[in-house]
Amino acid sequence: MPIITGGVIEEWGAPKEALRAVIRAVGQFRPRQFESDYVVDIAFRSWDPRDEPEFIGVRPGMVGRKQRRFIVWHSVPRGLDTVESVRAWLATALQETVRLVTEYLPARSKAYPAEQLADEVELLRLALLQH
């Protein structure tokens, strides 16, 4: 089961570069091979340092029927400006992502292979911890 990534990045400087490096690593973990693959989209919301973030943590997003993509938003907290700190935060946050995939996703669409997708997110979490 593939994992994709993307999202809204409003930050600049060191935090932006750290987040982009982690996004690249996530995107390379299990890239989507076919449009018919079901995926978890590890999407990121960062913040403009002049404003308060909309939220911090993890929230479920859209469950796409046609594009077979479950978006899970990850809002990176302020102050994480190294690849290591963003990676460590994401590894912790992915525990909530696994929970959303196993509990929230089946309530939205039974067609998704929720357990297999959750296993992939857990493997990603473990890979981030090993860096």
Radius of gyration of the chain (CA): 14
Identify the pLDDT of residue 8. 66
pTM across the whole model: 0.90
Q: Can you tell me which residue has the tokens 């669409």? A: 109
The enclosing H or E element of 84 equals: helix 83-99
Q: What are phi and psi of 13, to 5 degrees?
A: 75, -150
For residue range 7-57, list pLDDT tens digits in order. Answer: 766 666 668 888 889 999 999 998 888 889 999 999 988 766 667 777 788
- Report percent pLDDT > 70 for the chain: 90
Q: Which of 47, 48, 56 is nearest to 96 (CA)?
A: 56
